[in-house]
């Protein structure tokens, strides 16, 4: 099982290029989701197990994510610059 962080790795650049050029209906592996999120595969697996991650489909032993689902999930979790900004956005 891969658990390395993909940021800064040439493979991450390839996955991001592939993701950005793909249509919305394209299916991706958890490696691509980790590259897009800038986190480890272990984080993707933990989030999936906890029910907090990107919506997925399981095909046998494979887990796949659509580009559309990944983008929707990312849109829900916009970045903030401080905890007070986060608190204000949650209150809205």
Say if 2 falls within a structural domain.
no
Write the burial class of residue 47 (CB in 10 Å: 0-12 exposed, 13-18 middle, 19+ buried). Answer: middle
78 and 41 in contact (C-beta within 8 Å)?
no
Structure tokens at 65: 């994510």
Say if 32 falls within a structural domain.
yes
Q: Give the pLDDT of residue 92.
A: 61
Share above pLDDT 70 across residues of the chain, in percent, rounded to a whole number: 80
Share above pLDDT 90 across residues of the chain, in percent, rounded to a whole number: 65
Looking at the 3D structure of the chain, how many domains does it have? 1
Summarize pLDDT for 67-80 with one digit per residue, the tens.
999 999 999 887 77
Say if 57 falls within a structural domain.
yes
The CATH number of whichever domain residue 59 belongs to comes to 1.10.10
pTM above 0.85, yes or no: no
The domain in which residue 61 lies consists of 10-91
Say if 4 falls within a structural domain.
no
């Amino acid at each position: 099982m891969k658990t390395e962080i993909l940021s800064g790795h040439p493979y991450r650049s390839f996955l991001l290029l592939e993701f950005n050029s793909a249509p919305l209906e394209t299916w991706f592996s958890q490696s691509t989701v980790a590259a897009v999120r800038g986190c480890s595969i272990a984080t993707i697996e933990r989030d999936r197990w906890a029910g907090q991650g990107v919506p997925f489909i399981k095909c046998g032993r494979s887990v796949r994510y659509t580009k559309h689902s990944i983008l929707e999930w990312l849109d829900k979790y916009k970045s903030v610059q401080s905890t007070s900004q986060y608190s204000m956005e949650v209150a809205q």
